[in-house]
Every structure is written in C-alpha cells, then in structure tokens.
Chains A and B, each alone.
Chain A
Amino acid sequence: MNEYVVTALVVLGTLAAGLVLLLSFGITFVSYVAVGLIVSVLLLSLVYTWWKSKTDRTVTLLKVEILNRIKSTVESLEENLRTASTTVDVEPFLKELARIKRGLISRGLFSRDFEINEGKIDRMTLTAIEVESRKVEQQLRSLESLVVAGYGEAVARRLRELVSAAQMLAEGGFSVMQEYEELRRIGSMPATSLSELIEKHRRAEEEFLRLMDRCLREAEFLISTAEGVKEVSHLREELERIRKERDRVEAVYRLLRVRSEVSGYLREPFLRAREEVVDYLDRLLGFCREFDREQQALKRLRQRAAGYADPGYLAEFSDIREEAKRLTLELARALVREITALEEELRELGRSPESTGAGGRISELDPRQEFREFAKNALEVIETLHSHFDRRYRTVKIARSYAAVERIISRKLAEKGEVSAEELGVRYAEEFLKQYTREHPEAVLEDNVLRLRD
C-alpha cells in the first residue's frame, strides 16, 4: 500500500515540478530538460550493463559447462567406438569423430589436447558457444546412429552364435540349461543406443564364459571318473587347450567331442551300476506294500536312479547306493516296529505269539559293507522280516474278523450242515475254518469242507 502512495507522491511531485518549471521558464526550456534526462538514463543503462557483464562469472561457468558436455559426449563416443572395434570396423567413424574434434579445436573452443580453452572462450559470447554445441551434438548423434546400425547387426549375429553353442552343449549332456536360458533372455533384451548394445554384448559374453567354465568343470569331473577305467591323459590335455580358447564358439565342438569320448568309456560301468541299484530297489519294493512312507521314498530313489541316461552321471550312483542302504535300514526298522505292534495286538486279542527275534536282525545290516555284499545280505534279512510281518499281519486280521466269520459259519452249518471255504467269501477262508474246528469240537474239517460231526 505504501508503494502506491510513494509512487503517487513521486508522480504528483514530478508533475508539480514540471508545472513549476513550465510556469517559471516556458515550454522550450522544459522540452530541453526532458530530452536531456531521457538520453542520460539510456547512456547510464548501457554503461551499467557492460560493467556488470564484465564482472559476473555466471556466464563463464555456463560456457564451461556446455563445453564440458561436448567433451564428455565426444570422449564417451570415442570409448564406445574403441570397445565396438573388437566386433566391427569402426575406423571411418573414428576418423569422422577426429574431424569433429579438430573443428572444435580450430574454432578455439578446445586446446590441442582437447582441453577447454578458457583463455579464448572469454572473448566468445554464450550464445555463440550454445550454437556451436547444438551443431556438434547433432553431428555426434548422426555418427552414433551410423555406428549402431552396423554394430547392432554384428552383436545380434554373435548372440545367435552363442545361444546356438549353448544349446548344443545343453543337448550334448552338459548341465547348463540354466545358463542357456539366461543367454536367451539376454538376447531378447531391447537395446537401441550404442551403450546399451555394448552392455548387452558384454553380458552375453560373460554369461557364455560362465557356461563354458561350468562345462569345463563337468568335463574335468568326467575325465577324473574315467581315469580308473581308461587312459585319458590326452583328453585332459585337450581340455586345457579348450580352456584357453573358451571364448570361441569353435571350442564348443571340441568340448562336445571330449565329452562324447569320455562318456563312451563310462557307458559300461554306468549301465552296470544303474542296473545293480535299480534291480535291488525293485526287489526291495516288493516287500514294502504295507509301508507307504518307505515305499514312496524307495520309489523316488528308483525313479532318480533309472532316470539317469547319460554315463556322465556315473558318479551319482555312489550317493544313490548310500541312500539305498539308508532306506533299507529304515524299512527294516519299520518292519520290526510293525511286527512288535502286531505281537502286542495279538496278546490283547488273547493270543500269545512266539517270539521272532526280529529286532536282532537289524544288527546284521552293516551300511559300511560294499554295496553288492550289503544288498545280498539286506534282501535276505528284509525277506525274513517281511515273512514274519506277513504271518503276524494275517493272524491279526483273522483274529479281528473271526467273530463275524464265526457267525456266518455257524449259520450256514445250522442251515445245511456243512460249509466250504469257497462259499464263505472271505480271505484266509481255510484258516477261519481251522480255527472254527478248534473252538467248536462238534465241527470237523475235511477237504476244505466243514461239517457237523455225526
């Protein structure tokens, strides 16, 4: 509010002074004074602006920033071009870039070693430097586009090669499916600028090297496994040679040849080991129908063993054999537990089963034994335990169901004086009839037919 008052007062004061001068000295004098004042103010403004620009550093800093940006872009492009030079010919582009640099130096913006020429830029206006910057940026963009066109195609070609090589290795038996999938993923990544293309290429090469390293380790392991079977020193030497050229796709074919040869040496022992374990597990499975948990575990192990088709997995069978021993012991313990429980149940049902000594049989199983010896011994022990279990199981089943079957037998005997095992329609029919004769002396069993005594 005060500002309006002051302005109004100044305007009124000026008008009053003009009126006084007009009335005192006349129109001519007042016109000279007014023109003189206006000219003086204009001159003072020009002088002030010149003086201010001479003393303000902000403009200089802006000029330096623009030039730094130009410098950074040029150097980054130059570096990217040098990186790309391992894949495509970038000489023409480097020359073009050198020409742009020379232009900047000749215009005095940069020194010969491409540093900002601060001494000279003071004499150049900010506008002139900005115009120069826009022109250079346009030139650099055009240059990068040309490079991307050629380099992008070369990177795509290389990635196709790498993916194809990885696929061959995965299909050839090496466990590199994960790395192969990662390579495919990198290949499908979008990349439009030169830096993105360079990054994509770098990651693909790194992943391929990781994949090759894994294959080399696998091949080395296979060669070590085969050492006891065949003379394989030549393969080990070849592997060392491959290791030195592992970034080259050609190395893949040689690596596959090494694997194929070593697999050939391992085939026979592999098939023997697989058959031995699978056959053992199959026989063991015949004894665990009533033991779901143990049966499932054995089935899983059998599936794992039978699922290996490549001799390269020969070493896995060492683990599988140990696991088979462990599961055998678990099955034996489960059988003993059940036999004990069934004996207890028989006692509750008023029967007194003779002792089987089942628990002691477990100590006959020694997992430190060589697998073949262990398996032979284990099958014998498990068969005996299962036979005890089966007998007890049947006895319990008969004891539990006897009351129901006894009613049927009594009724049929009352109806027609005889009953055969077949017409009872029960499992263990003969045992039921025998038990009936034990508990009913008036009945006699002849040729599986129960009759009332005369």
Chain B
Amino acid sequence: MHTRWGIIASGQGANRIAFLYYAKYRTPAIGDRVLLLNTTPADVKPEAPLEQVFESEPGLREVFQEIRKRRVCIFGRTPSGAGNNWILGEREAMADYDSIRRYIAALGLRRNDVLLGVTTLGGGTGNGSLPYIVHRVRRDPGEGLERINNFLAMGILPYDFEAPQRHFNAVCGLARLLRYNGEQNAALVILVDNSQVERVLGIKKGQRAERYHRINQEVIKTIHMMIAPSSRGSRGTIDIADYCQLPGNIGTVHFAPCLSTGNDPEVLSLRAMLESASANPLVPLETETGTMAYIIVAAPREKVESGEITQEDLEEVSREWAAHHLAGEGLLRYTSLIAEPERRDVDVLILLGGFSLRGIMEKSLQKYRIFRDSLGKGSGGSRIELRMIQNLEEELREYIAITEERIARLREGYGSGGLEEWGFSNTR
C-alpha cells in the first residue's frame, strides 16, 4: 500500500500554494487531504486570501467551494488576526488547538501517514502557528488524533528586499521548525527562497506582476515531485521512512529543492538533467556543501518501459553526480524513478540536505539583527521577549555548528576509513 499524504497550509501565502496544489494535482496519494488554516480578518470570508488565485485560472473558485466547509479552519480569538507577529500566531494556535486538532483529525490520516506543513516564514500566522502544530502533532496530539511522526515542514523564505521584521520572523520561524523546546521539531524542513526562485526563473522587472504565480508554481511542482514516489508509477527506493527518520538520526533535517522541469529526454541525458537541477537550487546555497540528496525523476512511462530510462541508470548517474557535487560524496543518497503515463518530458527534483546555511543566513542575518536590537525589554502578552529570542538563537547556532562540523568532516575525508583502529596493518 502506498503512503498517504496530507497538507496543512497555515497563513495566506501557504493557503494559496496548498490550494493551487490541490486544484492542479489530485493524486491518489493526496486525495482531498488539504487543510487551509488562517487567522486574518479576511477569515470572515475564507476565500478572500485566494481571490488573486481565482483570477489566475478559471474554475478554481468552484474547486474551492468543494473543500470550503471541511478543509478551511479559522482559528484564534483575536479579531485582527496575527498580522506579522509570529508570537501572536503561535498564541492563537495554542489557544485554539482543539479546533485545529479536529480539522487535522478529519483528514483521516493514520500513524504511518505523512503530513506536510507549509508556511511562509516572513509572516505571523503560519510562521507562528506551524512550528507549534508540528510540535503538538508529533509529541502530544491530543484526543482523537493519532501521533503523526512523519510531519514534514516547508518554509518559504521572504524576498531579499523585504523589511527587517520579515527576516527576523524568518530566522525565528526556521529555528522553531528545526527545534522546539529543545527537541527536534519537524521530521524534515524543506526551504524555498522567494528571491532565489525569482532568480532561477529569470523573472525580470517587467514580469513582477506574475512573479507570485510563477514562484507558487515552482513550489507546487516541488511538492508534487516530493509526493510522487508514493505514487503507483514509482520504481525507486525512496520510502517515507527515508525522508523522515534518517535525517533526524543524523541531526540535520534541513533540505532545499533543486528543480529542473520540462527536460527533453531526446536532448538531455540523465546526467545533464541532474546537473541542470543542481544548478537550480531554490535557496541560495553551495551544492558542494550538501551532505544528503534525495533524487526523484518523473519520466514518460514509455521511456521507462522501453528501458531508455531505468532505475539502474538513475542510480549510476546519481552516484557519479554525488561524487562530483556533494561533500565527501555525501552521507545519504536515495533515488526514485517515477513512470507517468501522460508525460512527454522529464522532471528532476534533487532534495539537497545538510548544506551550509550560510547562504540563507547571509541574506537575513543583518536584517534580523537590526530588528532584534530594536526590540524592547518588555514581556507578557503577545510581545516578543528577548529571553525567548536568545533561546532560539542558541538552538539555531548549535544546529548550524553541527551542520558545518559535519560538512568539514566529510570534506576532509576519512582516509583509509580507520582500518588501523580496527587492527588492520597500514600496508597491504
């Protein structure tokens, strides 16, 4: 039996992404298990945040009406919503967790199924609530809801040009998705950076009006490719246990999608497609610092059945690619080939994990500090307390240190593999 997935999208930006994903891909793996969470004043009219989406394609409003009653949860008690204050988003989720829990339980997922939480990290509602919801569902889900350990999170990082407060939110949100109350939080944290996606898509100044739509499309493609190994056409070896357990054991759970879609299999070899994907990371990163890679390839079924593209070829090409691109050939590498009947081109997703977070922190840290230093020393209510921030910083620093240490160790190499320590002589 294939793994069943559910998506929980918290906040307006994430709502748009998850709804578009549901409208575009109704795969058996996901069914209608998409839950939209929000707190904004527009929640009185839940479709308000999606108006922009409805205008992009005809028929989407009708699709929304299908799920409106069962799959849209408005939580919180503050009439003004969470705004850009993540503390408020978290408090609202804490206060109204029972409502959220009931909606999650209605998705009908069981212990070994998978939940993917989506949020934009610059905002307040999703950024504040999702880390808390992940923590509760994985540790203490409450009555009527099974513990779902396989809870992945996808965080969308703000644009480079956004205000310091948004970058402050992003760093705090990232820290809380990685660790919560001193424990690992999400089983896997997948990061996507708006500005980086814009760069790889080559969106120019004149095209800014459609930027959100195109960026969302890339995120949707990423989600679809992540879920694809749970589909019927999968020939590969990636199981959800690989997604969720192994990175946690290693202590490094952040990943970034590297995407190359619409490849012509008559022009590009598998090797070239992987090269193209790795040159296309959706967050600013150095591929060579990556320590883990899940490589997912969706190919036309006739090419797979005729043996033109095989799982074995993919394994071999992935091995070569990892030897060339990952730190010390990497710690983990899994591949999955999916044969899809209606497809003519090839999509490649490399979920690159354990890479140096320098690229992400470089763009946000300065703005983060500007905002943090401007915080008052007050406490209580929905105010952000410095003590709380210091804890988050400490956790993030520790996480970054582990990551960097592992990269450095892998790059140094392991020489003979320590044969001498096991009593083997140094000469043959």
Contacts and interface: CB of A to CB of B under 8 A. Distances in A.
Interface of A: 397-398, 400-401, 403-405, 407-408, 410-412, 424-428
Interface in B260-286: 260, 262-264, 266-269, 271-273, 275-276, 278-280
Given A401-B263, A404-B260, A404-B273, A426 B279 contact: no
B248 to A, nearest CB: 31
Nearest to A401: B267
Given A425-B269, A426-B269, A408 B263 contact: no
Nearest to B317: A425
A400 B275 contact: no
Given A404-B272, A408-B272, A397 B267 contact: yes
28 contacts: A398-B267, A400-B262, A400-B267, A401-B263, A401-B264, A401-B267, A401-B268, A403-B202, A404-B268, A404-B276, A405-B267, A405-B268, A405-B276, A407-B260, A407-B276, A407-B280, A408-B272, A408-B275, A408-B276, A408-B279, A410-B279, A411-B275, A411-B279, A412-B275, A425-B272, A425-B275, A426-B272, A427-B268
Contact of A397 (B266, B272, B276): B266
A346 to B, nearest CB: 15
A407 B264 contact: no
A425 B264 contact: no
Name the residue in A405, A407, A410 with the highest tally of chain B Cβ atoms < 10 Å from its Cβ: A407
Interface of B: 202, 260, 262-264, 266-269, 271-273, 275-276, 278-280
Given A407-B280, A425-B269, A426-B269, A397 B264 contact: yes
Contacts of B202: 403
Nearest to B324: A415
A401 B262 CA distance: 8
Contacts of B278: 411
Contacts of A428: 267
Contacts of B267: 397-398, 400-401, 405, 426-428
B346 to A, nearest CB: 10
Contacts of A410: 279
A418 to B, nearest CB: 15
A291 to B, nearest CB: 16
A426 B268 contact: yes
- Those 4 A-B pairs whose CB atoms lie nearest each other, nearest first: A407-B279, A425-B269, A404-B276, A425-B272
Contacts of A404: 260, 263, 268, 272-273, 276
Contacts of B262: 400
A425 B276 CA distance: 11
A408 B272 CA distance: 7
A208 B269 CA distance: 66
A9 B263 CA distance: 119
Contacts of A425: 268-269, 271-272, 275
B187 to A, nearest CB: 31
A407 B264 CA distance: 15
Given A405-B276, A407-B260, A408-B279, 19 more contacts: A397-B264, A397-B267, A400-B262, A400-B264, A401-B263, A401-B267, A404-B260, A404-B263, A404-B276, A405-B267, A407-B279, A408-B272, A408-B275, A408-B276, A425-B268, A425-B271, A426-B267, A426-B272, A428-B267
Nearest to A394: B267
Nearest to A397: B267
A349 to B, nearest CB: 13
Contacts of A405: 267-268, 272, 276
Nearest to B275: A408
A208 B394 CA distance: 103
A412 B275 CA distance: 9
Contacts of B280: 407
A158 B363 CA distance: 102
Contacts of B264: 397, 400-401
Contacts of A403: 202
Contacts of A427: 266-268
A144 B260 CA distance: 91
A109 B271 CA distance: 109
A425 B271 CA distance: 7
A407 B263 CA distance: 13
Contacts of B273: 404
Contacts of B279: 407-408, 410-411
Contacts of A401: 263-264, 267-268
B151 to A, nearest CB: 33
B345 to A, nearest CB: 9
A408 to B, nearest CB: 5
Nearest to A410: B279
Contacts of B269: 425-426
A225 to B, nearest CB: 45
Contacts of A424: 272
B313 to A, nearest CB: 12
A428 B269 CA distance: 11
Nearest to A424: B272
B257 to A, nearest CB: 15
A411 B260 CA distance: 14
B266 to A, nearest CB: 7
Contacts of A426: 267-269, 272
Contacts of B266: 397, 427
